[in-house]
């Protein structure tokens, strides 16, 4: 198990990772490319420093009683997925399970589930659809949230988002400008180039350097999102990736 | 006696720009994508990138973040677009039929702050940008309904043309001639720019005289369209908005055709084709094969498009911002072209 204090704990629902299928092994779900990308980041981090402690620690959470625990575990090992922990919980206990396991980011394909978690202060995001495996883990940040520090009420997961992005920045900093297995993409939807500049500066002051930046100034997000193919998008609350 | 009314309260429009006006929807605007290197002078930085690599380049950019770049060859063109916008807004305050300039660069966002600082320093109205961090910007050009893409990189320009987007490689003249700040002037070559390269093939194979003969013989046969026809069309649409308000003579947009065709023989086919497309051009200059540089020096366009490097270089030598449209039979894949650098050379 990874160093509890230093690892970046990411929880994913088993429903997102595995598709129901006949036989002993589940099919690959939406979250598969994400897990592979997280793994690749860990591999590259350990390549640079075998004693690296700032790694992704993946927790699989099953809230779906439809999926059998034994099949989840055997499927995980069948695909060679590196999972730190399995948590067999229920929908009602989900948030508590996340908190107890020190989860810093919760990923789901279920919007209601993600919202419920986010409202309790745990950083949560929806998984993006990946058509093909990508070369890097692509994390998208919504700049509008960064530039709007004083909205009322302050989103519950704001604090969690800020500390997550600081850790992510530290992780990104282990790699050079090109060839990184982790890409940080900033998108600002409204607001012009000045706003985006403020977002870039704010993120940098938190230790997070951005690789790609897109300032839409009101242009629709959909066409850009389908080009950017993020694995997930972080912003205030939970944001839909299909615009 | 009239009734006194209190002044109307200003309506709260959703503001998406610091300049107090929302940006037009991409499908309504004439969207011009410009790369960082043509908008600004980044020659020093480009050299660092080529000689010392990406990390050193980024380091240098970040170290000089508060130092704005000086204008590049596309700068005066962009300023002229903004001048036209100001006049369009006065006449049609609610309309979204405006120019929208988008910075399309495959620079990393590390360079972002310097670019944004420079945009602010020069008071450019560029509110949209894509910094793709090394990825091709071509997909984004389509997502933004880009009407014209200008870059210093001929590879990207070719990619854009292949995707059906009007595009040209922009070169920096050694000395830039002074251009109007209130009237946008755009000059186009005819064959393989506005028109297809079908006639250019005749010229290449058989020379200028045969070309003139052929064109005269076929003067009633319409030419096929070239990669920049759509952009001329977009300009024409905006021009008509000025005509609609009685501003034909002093229209803030003026277009020119500067072609090797001759008025006596091959010019007619070109003009007939334009007319059949419902397009107007303000001035047609038939050079009959003579160099275009001196004529362009008189016209002072903000931008000139040609498919032949000979003409692009000739124009640039005399201070015109000239762009190469790498389309059609005139293209040979020479090392000089692939470098995308302006060089002086003997005529082809």
Do the Cβ atoms of B23 and A176 come within 8 Å? no
What is the C-alpha to C-alpha distance for residues A240 and B15, in angstroms, rounded to an integer?
A: 23
DSSP-assigned beta bridge partners for residue B283: B256
Q: Which of A178, A201, A217 sits opposite B16 (nearest CB)?
A: A217
Q: Strand, coil or helix: what is A193?
A: helix
Does B71 contact A at CB distance below 8 Å?
A: no
Q: Strand, coil or helix: what is B130?
A: strand
Do the Cβ atoms of A177 and B55 come within 8 Å? yes
Residue of B nearest to A177 (CA): B55
Do the Cβ atoms of B129 and A215 come within 8 Å? yes
**ipTM value:** 0.91
Do the Cβ atoms of A210 and B119 come within 8 Å? no
- Domains located in chain A, CATH noted: 8-126 (3.40.50.1000), 137-234 (3.40.50)
Does B49 contact A at CB distance below 8 Å?
A: no
Residue B89's nearest CA partner among B238, B231, B230, B250 is B238
Collect all residues of chain A within an 8 Å Cβ-Cβ radius of residue B16: 190-192, 217-218
Collect all residues of chain B within an 8 Å Cβ-Cβ radius of residue A218: 16, 22-23, 25
Instruction: Tell me what pLDDT residue A130 has.
Output: 73
**Chain A residues with a Cβ under 8 Å from any Cβ in chain B:** 176-178, 183, 185-186, 190-197, 200-201, 209-220, 223-224, 227
Instruction: Tell me what pLDDT residue A129 has.
Output: 78
Does B62 contact A at CB distance below 8 Å?
A: no
pLDDT tens figures, A115-167: 999 999 999 999 887 766 777 999 999 988 887 766 677 788 888 988 999 99
Max alpha carbon distance in chain B (Å)?
A: 80
Q: Strand, coil or helix: what is B254?
A: strand
Distance between A180 CA and the closest CA of chain B, angstroms:
11
pTM reported for the whole predicted model: 0.90
Collect all residues of chain A within an 8 Å Cβ-Cβ radius of residue B26: 219-220
Distance between A90 CA and the closest CA of chain B, angstroms:
41
What is the C-alpha to C-alpha distance for residues A50 and A220, in angstroms, rounded to an integer?
A: 44
Distance between B132 CA and the closest CA of chain A, angstroms:
5
Distance between B157 CA and the closest CA of chain A, angstroms:
19
Do the Cβ atoms of A213 and B140 come within 8 Å? no
Q: Which of B25, B116, B140 sits opposite A197 (nearest CB)?
A: B116
Residue A41's nearest CA partner among A167, A227, A206 is A167
Residue of A nearest to B58 (CA): A177
Instruction: Tell me what pLDDT residue B343 has.
Output: 39
pLDDT beneath 70, residues of chain A: 1-4, 21-22, 131-132, 149-151, 237, 240-243
For residue B274, what are its two tokens? 């334009």
Element (H, E) at B91: helix B75-91
Instruction: Tell me what pLDDT residue A153 has.
Output: 76
Interface of B with A in 92-111 (CB under 8 A): 108-110
Distance between A227 CA and the closest CA of chain B, angstroms:
7
Distance between A146 CA and the closest CA of chain B, angstroms:
16
| Best of B22, B112, B122, B140 to mutate (most A CBs within 10 Å, chain A) | B112
Instruction: Tell me what pLDDT residue B317 has.
Output: 95
Q: Which of B19, B108, B142 sits opposite A211 (nearest CB)?
A: B108
Instruction: Tell me what pLDDT residue A3 has.
Output: 64
What is the C-alpha to C-alpha distance for residues B193 and B322, in angstroms, rounded to an integer?
A: 13
Reply yes or no on whether B189 is catalytic: yes
Residue-by-residue pLDDT tens, chain B, 348 positions: 444 444 443 333 333 444 557 789 988 999 999 999 999 999 999 999 999 999 999 999 999 999 999 999 999 999 999 999 999 999 999 999 999 999 999 999 999 999 999 999 999 999 999 999 999 999 999 998 999 999 999 999 999 999 999 999 999 998 999 999 999 999 999 999 999 999 888 888 998 888 888 988 999 999 999 999 999 999 999 999 999 999 888 899 999 999 988 888 889 999 999 999 999 999 999 998 899 999 999 999 999 999 999 999 999 999 999 999 999 888 864 434 444 443 333 232
Q: What angle do CA B55, B61, B67 make, to 5 degrees?
A: 170
Q: Strand, coil or helix: what is B54?
A: helix
SS3 for A64-122 is CCCCCHHHHHHHHHHCCCCCCEEEECCCCCHHHHHHHCCCCEEEECCHHHHHHHHHCCC
Does B113 contact A at CB distance below 8 Å?
A: yes
Catalytic residue among B189, B197, B306, B307: B189
Instruction: Tell me what pLDDT residue B15 has.
Output: 35
Render B264-313 in DSSP notation, one character per residue: TTTHHHHHHHHHHTT---SEEEE-TT--SHHHHHHH--SEEEES-HHHHH
Collect all residues of chain B within an 8 Å Cβ-Cβ radius of residue A197: 112-113, 116-117, 120
């Amino acid at each position: 198990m990874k160093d509890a204090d230093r690892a970046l704990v990411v929880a994913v629902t088993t429903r997102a990772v595995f598709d129901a299928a006949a036989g002993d092994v589940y099919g690959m779900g939406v979250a598969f490319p994400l897990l592979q990308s997280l793994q690749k980041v860990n591999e590259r981090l350990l390549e640079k420093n075998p004693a690296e402690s700032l790694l992704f620690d993946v927790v699989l959470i099953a809230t779906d009683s439809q999926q059998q625990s034994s099949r989840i575990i055997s499927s995980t090992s069948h695909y060679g997925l590196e999972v730190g922990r399995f948590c067999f919980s229920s929908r009602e206990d989900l948030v508590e399970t996340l908190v107890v396991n020190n989860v810093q980011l919760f990923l789901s394909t279920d919007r209601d589930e993600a919202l419920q978690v986010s409202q309790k202060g745990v950083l949560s995001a929806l998984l993006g659809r990946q058509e093909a495996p990508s070369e890097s883990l692509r994390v998208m940040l919504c700049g509008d949230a960064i530039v709007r520090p004083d909205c009322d009420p302050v989103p519950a997961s704001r604090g969690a988002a800020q500390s997550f992005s600081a850790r992510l920045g530290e992780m990104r900093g282990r790699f050079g400008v090109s060839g990184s297995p982790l890409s940080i993409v900033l998108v600002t939807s409204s607001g012009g180039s000045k706003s985006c500049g403020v977002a870039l500066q704010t993120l940098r002051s938190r230790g997070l350097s951005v690789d790609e930046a897109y300032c839409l100034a009101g242009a629709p997000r959909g066409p850009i999102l389908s080009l950017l193919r993020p694995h997930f998008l972080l912003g205030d609350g939970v944001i839909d990736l299909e615009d | 006696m009239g009734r006194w009314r209190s002044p109307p309260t200003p309506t709260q429009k959703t503001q998406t720009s610091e300049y107090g006006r929302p940006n037009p929807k991409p499908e309504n605007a004439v969207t011009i994508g410009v790369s960082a290197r043509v908008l600004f002078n980044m020659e020093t930085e480009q050299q660092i990138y080529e000689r010392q690599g990406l990390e050193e380049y980024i380091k240098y950019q970040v170290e000089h973040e508060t130092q704005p770049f000086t204008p590049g060859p596309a700068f005066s063109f962009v300023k002229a677009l903004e001048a036209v916008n100001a006049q369009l807004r006065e006449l049609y305050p609610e309309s979204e039929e405006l120019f929208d300039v988008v910075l399309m660069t495959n620079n990393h966002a590390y360079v972002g702050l310097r670019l944004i600082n420079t945009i602010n320093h020069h008071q450019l109205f560029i509110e949209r940008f894509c910094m793709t961090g090394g990825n091709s910007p071509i997909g984004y050009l389509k997502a933004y309904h880009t009407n014209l893409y200008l870059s210093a990189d001929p590879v990207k320009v070719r990619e854009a043309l292949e995707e059906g987007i009007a595009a040209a490689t922009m070169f920096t003249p050694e000395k830039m001639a002074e251009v109007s700040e209130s009237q946008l002037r755009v000059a186009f070559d005819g064959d393989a720019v506005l028109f297809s390269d079908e006639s250019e093939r005749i010229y290449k194979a058989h020379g200028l005289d045969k070309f003139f003969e052929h064109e005269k013989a076929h003067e009633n046969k319409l030419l096929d369209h070239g990669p920049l026809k759509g952009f001329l069309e977009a300009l024409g649409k905006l021009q008509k908005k000025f005509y609609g308000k009685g501003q034909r003579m002093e229209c803030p947009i003026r277009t020119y055709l500067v072609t090797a065709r001759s008025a006596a023989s091959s010019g007619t086919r070109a003009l007939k084709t334009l007319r059949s497309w419902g397009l107007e051009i303000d001035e047609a200059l038939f050079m009959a094969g003579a160099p275009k540089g001196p004529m362009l020096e008189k016209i002072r366009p903000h931008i000139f498009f040609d498919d032949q490097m000979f003409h692009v270089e000739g124009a640039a030598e005399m201070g015109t911002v000239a762009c190469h449209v790498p389309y059609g039979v005139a293209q040979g894949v020479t090392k000089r072209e692939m470098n995308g650098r302006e060089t002086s050379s003997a005529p082809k």
